Amino acid sequence: MANAYDVIVIGGGHNGLVNAAYLARAGKKVLVLERRHILGGAACTEEVFPGFKFSVCSYVVSLLRPEIIRDLDLPRHGLEILPLDGTFTPMPSGDYLWRVNDHGKTHREIARHSRVDAEAYDEFGKAMQAMCRFVKPILSMVPPDPNTLNPRELMKLLFIGRRFQGMSSNDKYNQVQLMTMSAIDFLDQWFETDVLKATMSASGIIGTFLGVRSPGTAYVLLHHYMGEIDGAFRAWGFARGGTGAISNAIADAAREAGVEIRTLAAIAKIIVKDGKAKGVVLTNGDEIYADTISSSVDPRLTFNKFIEAEHLPADFLEDINRFKYRGSSGKVNMALDALPNFKAIPGPGAHLRGAISISPSVEYMEKAYDDAKYGNFSRRPYIDMVIPSLTDPSVAPPGKHVLSCFVQYAPYKLRPGLNWDDQKEAFGDTVVNTIAEYAPNIKDIILHKQVITPLDLEREWGLSEGNIFQGELSLEQLFFLRPAPGYARFRTPIQNLYMCGSATHPGGGIMGAPGRLAALEMLKDSKGAV
Amino acid sequence: MPENRSGVRDLVIIGGGHNGLVTAFYLAKAGFKPLVLERRAQVGGAAITDEFHPGFHCSTLAHTAGPIRADIVRDMQLEKHGLRLITPETCVTALSPDGRALSLYQDENKSAQSIAAFSQKDAAKYPEFEKSLGKISKVIAEALATTPPDIDHPSGGDMWSMLKTGRALRNLGKRDMYRVLRWGPMAVADLVAEYFETELLRAVIAARGIFGTFLGPWSAGSSLQLLIRAAGDSHPAGSAFFAAGGMGALTQAMASAAKAAGVEIRTSAEVIEIRVKDSAATGVLLGTGEEISAKAVISNADPKRTLLKLTDPTHLSPDFVQKLQHFRGNGTVAKVNLALSGLPTFTALKNADTNALKGRVHIGPEIDYLERAFDESKYGNFSRQPYLEATIPSLTDPTLAPDGKHVMSIYMQYAPYKLKGDWEDQRKALGQTVVQTIAQYAPNLPEMILTHQIITPLDLEEVYGLTGGQIFHGDLALDQFFTMRPLLDWARYRTPIENLYLCGSGTHPGAGLSGGSGANAAREILKLLKK
């Protein structure tokens, strides 16, 4: 008998929706099932307090693949990215470092701290862009399997090798360093200003359980230079209406292509018969059948929760159980009566329109990590703040503001005796107290506060152990090892079951690449099947 | 008969450390007449034995062999030249504060038995881990014995050896091949946790991943260290390889083998400059003012000392100089040697079981303990609760100390070269910390101490010529390994200066007392000299 649907996509996060849209555009009949009442997964906007709309989890966009914006014609579906200009890093001394997109300004500002660094900063930018040119094609490539002898796969390895060969010996040198060094060891070679290194290194640890001195963190520095919006290099921005607007635009494009989307439709299990995925059972008991199942949720949910172990090879299960999540970050969203007033630059101003980074020194960053290693949230955490309401008034009542704080480290596994439900409030207070050291008026202007712990991320958003990337982005979990060696190509040991979430290559961030790449692979297979 | 000193030598080798001697030997075997110039009064570099207290002899720095590569022992006939390796059945004994001890032995089953006292599960897992590590380490060993490929223009030979390594990888089978790829960049704390639940066992194995490095067990890439060490010695926690007479006996045997092969060795001959003309090395200048010209100069000293101190950097491109300055090598290890009036009693060892003490003694009972020790060094302090590796070689080699007396040789980590404050002021404190730490496990140690010898990272640099006090001539890390050791494009024992070569631990593979760097270098240099 013919199924009602060709494909069921589990999870209406941005990757699930991208996956669905590409499949539908290729003529597949697709159903998306989302557990929550709204779409977007971690890329959602919610009116948490009346009149205040928050990008509850993910809060800035940069890596959204341009080909996806083009293919799905997202601007027509309401996507509008507003620029996020610069990073403002206040220091305890009352001094600050304020980098903006304006090259001249940034050069003068860095020179204020160190002339040498100001020069080096330009060189650094150039070097990073050369690196990006090498890495980008890999982001839109299906990882080859080093274990195969399939010539097409080997060609891919060769292709990477050739591109590497093609680089100047300096670029090669930088590339291998980026892939292997710690952010600080790498930056130490370029810069002398501590606060500059500290605030730059921060991008290397976001979402990982690593410190700025941990090898492997240098690579993520690239992402800051890879950001691309409407072709504008390394621009970061907000979506008008919050990150949820991105998901909604993708959902819109998907619906237009014929995708059916159901919210409040939670999966209980994936139906597997003799090694083939046949459909899903919802928590309400409904059974829905399809030729193909595509899961955008993380491997733990897909393989440990929705599928009985007996359907999976022991080796694969062992690898999936070993896949590391280890959420290390939380989120604190605040509704503000007025703007925070920073000691470093008093009053309102452009410095509040960009990212505000609490990363005053390398030692500060590393100590924040030390706390987490032993199961405590950082006494003085790294905080990345944005005030979208300054750029997009639609998200707060007139004169009022929303403040979004990404906070690290908040380890999912607290030390024995502590649990997040008890620590939640203390965690929120720590964040406020930390900010207060730089903007003393913060305590007086908070109308409402929403604290999201790693445990909340797991419970509410289905991110195992609260990892915002559906699995740590550490070297041994990247490329052909993501999420499991031999299964990095969106396929699974179960026929007709695919993965399309951030737990697959190239990983997390509002990139959409996994969803798209998975769709292309699925279409390849379905052609083969005919 | 050596040529007239004023005449042109064919080869001069700077430094008579173990790698320098190995290189000299192989080149002499090939018909060259190398002259080894050693700054100190004795050869051996970091593998030496000193009488540090009347009647008490101790391996001053390195206290166990890497182990030395078997083919090198064979080629140099080191036994014939007086080397006697002592490999006690007990490899390592890890002590825990709760008064328990975990001994691991050469014999897998015996190890499993003593693990069983802590965890049946771990005892069952242990052979599985040893098996995987054994298979994998064979492949790594192959890679360590090859010359890193030329990145820009891989030669046919490079392609071949890459192919061979690739094949060896595939032959591991899918599971183990993926393990290599996965393990390399991993934190060793994660690796051991994948197999074992007992903290003491986790810690003693993880220690191999951090020894001598500026990494903690939670640092990504620390597993690579474990794999590199396993290449020479696939015992999960590492065996114990002593030389009768201390590590100095090993390098003495090497020196004697080298001489027999036709190498000339001069001690107390400090090279203060490498002479360069038209970007080619022409010889060396000694502290005495003596000039020795040579067709080629080979340096056993670390890359920074060789190219930034002994060579006038104006002969190098600014770009190269800058990159070499960034070659990380800040030591984390200090050494404390004790002369003891007797054998201390370790509370964990019932009925004074000396067998447990014949291998290495590991202090660092938990992963977190090791990581906390590392934390302090990140901020420029030496660990107040340090990770220690102690040996009591006099138990297996009575010649080292007078009757009934003993020597204890202790590696202390972490002792950061870049210290807040001054090493001279903190030398005593360091010694006390080490003694007090051991006293927690052997309370009667302090009253048995006849003398301390305390060697700080600064001493390692100033006395033994290890830049930054880095015992491996430069951090062993993912970004300073294989084709990147010491620098990408310069991992083939050559330097930008014609006729100037490197053969020390700052080159691939570079880990410990294996002689690998020296042997690889000799092979490459021969190829080039024969051209």
Q: How far apart are the C-alpha atoms of A469 and A501, rounded to whole Å?
A: 9
Residues sharing a CB contact under 8 Å with residue B372, sequence separation 6 or more, in sequence order: A374, B383, B385
Mutation pick from A147, A205, A415 vs chain B, by most beta carbons of B within 10 Å, is A147
Q: What is the pLDDT of residue A233?
A: 44
Q: What is the pLDDT of residue A176?
A: 85
Helix H or strand E segment including B18: helix B18-29
What is the sign of the dihedral through the CA atoms of B15, B531, B148 and B328?
positive
Q: What is the pLDDT of residue A227?
A: 60
- B221 to chain A: closest CA residue: A215
Distance from CA of B90 to the nearest CA of A (A): 33
Residues of A in contact with B183 (CB under 8 A): 476
Distance from CA of B326 to the nearest CA of A (A): 6
pTM of the model: 0.93
Residues sharing a CB contact under 8 Å with residue B253, sequence separation 6 or more, in sequence order: B76, B78, B79, B81, B82, B83, B243
Q: What is the pLDDT of residue A529?
A: 54
Return the SS3 of A261.
strand
Average pLDDT, chain A: 92
Q: What is the pLDDT of residue A384?
A: 96
Instruction: Confirm if A339 and A352 have CB atoms less than 8 A apart.
Output: yes
> A179-228 pLDDT, tens per residue?
889 999 999 999 999 999 999 999 889 888 999 999 889 987 887 677 65
> A310-364 pLDDT, tens per residue?
999 999 999 999 999 999 999 999 999 999 999 999 999 999 999 999 999 999 9
Please give the residue that has the higher pLDDT: either A236 or A82: A82
- B325 to chain A: closest CA residue: A189
Residues of B in contact with A365 (CB under 8 A): none
The token pair that represents A416 in the structure block: 């024995």
A231 pLDDT tier (thresholds 50, 70, 90): very low
> B498-514 pLDDT, tens per residue?
999 999 999 999 878 89
Residues of B in contact with A373 (CB under 8 A): 218, 368, 371
Q: Which residues of B touch A (CB under 8 A)?
A: 151-152, 170, 174-175, 177-178, 181-186, 190, 194, 215, 218-221, 319, 323, 326, 328, 368, 371-372, 375, 378-379, 477-479, 483-484, 487-489
Q: How far apart are the C-alpha atoms of B323 and B343, rounded to whole Å?
A: 49
Closest CA to B66 of B47, B38, B48: B47
Q: What is the pLDDT of residue B352?
A: 66
Instruction: Confirm if B276 and B311 have CB atoms less than 8 A apart.
Output: yes
Cβ–Cβ gap A215/B219 under 8 Å: yes
Return the SS3 of A276.
strand
Distance from CA of B218 to the nearest CA of A (A): 8
Q: What is the pLDDT of residue B510?
A: 86
At position B501, the amino acid (one-letter code) is Y
- DSSP 8-state code for residue A380: S
With a cut of 60, say whether residue A530 has pLDDT above it. no
Cβ–Cβ gap B152/A169 under 8 Å: yes
Torsion of CA B85, B89, B92, B96, to 10 degrees: -150
Q: What is the pLDDT of residue A528?
A: 63
The token pair that represents A51 in the structure block: 């009149």
Out of B219, B379, B487, closest to residue A214 by CB: B219
Residues of A in contact with B190 (CB under 8 A): 324
Determine which of A233-247, A431-445, A514-528, B356-370 has the lowest per-residue pLDDT on average.
A233-247
Residues of chain B with pLDDT under 70: 1-7, 351-352
Residues of B in contact with A324 (CB under 8 A): 190
What's the average model confidence in pLDDT over A360-374?
A: 97
Q: What is the pLDDT of residue B167?
A: 82
Q: What is the pLDDT of residue A154?
A: 74
- B482 to chain A: closest CA residue: A176
Distance from CA of A384 to the nearest CA of B (A): 24
Torsion of CA A331, A367, B324, B466, to 10 degrees: -160
Q: How far apart are the C-alpha atoms of B306 and B298, rounded to whole Å?
A: 10
Instruction: Confirm if B526 and B26 have CB atoms less than 8 A apart.
Output: yes
With a cut of 50, say whether residue A472 has pLDDT above it. yes
Conformation bin of residue A28: beta by default, left when phi > 0, alpha when psi is -120 to 50: beta
Cβ–Cβ gap B151/A172 under 8 Å: yes
Cβ–Cβ gap A173/B487 under 8 Å: yes
> A140-172 pLDDT, tens per residue?
788 887 777 677 777 777 788 788 878 888 888
Instruction: Confirm if A430 and A442 have CB atoms less than 8 A apart.
Output: no
Tell me the CA end-to-end span of chain B in Å, nearest whole number.
25
Determine which of A105-114, A222-231, A294-303, B419-428 has the lowest per-residue pLDDT on average.
A222-231
β-bridge partners, A32:
A9, A261
Mutation pick from B210, B378, B418 vs chain A, by most beta carbons of A within 10 Å, is B378
Cβ–Cβ gap A172/B479 under 8 Å: no
A365 pLDDT tier (thresholds 50, 70, 90): very high
- DSSP 8-state code for residue A451: E
Number of Cβ within a 10 Å radius of residue B451: 12
- DSSP 8-state code for residue B7: S
Distance from CA of B160 to the nearest CA of A (A): 16
CB contacts < 8 A, A to B, total 90
Residue A412: cis peptide before it, omega within 30 degrees of 0: no
Question: What angle in degrees, to the nearest 10, is found between the helix axes of B199-210 and B222-232?
Answer: 80
Please give the residue that has the higher pLDDT: either A174 or A262: A262
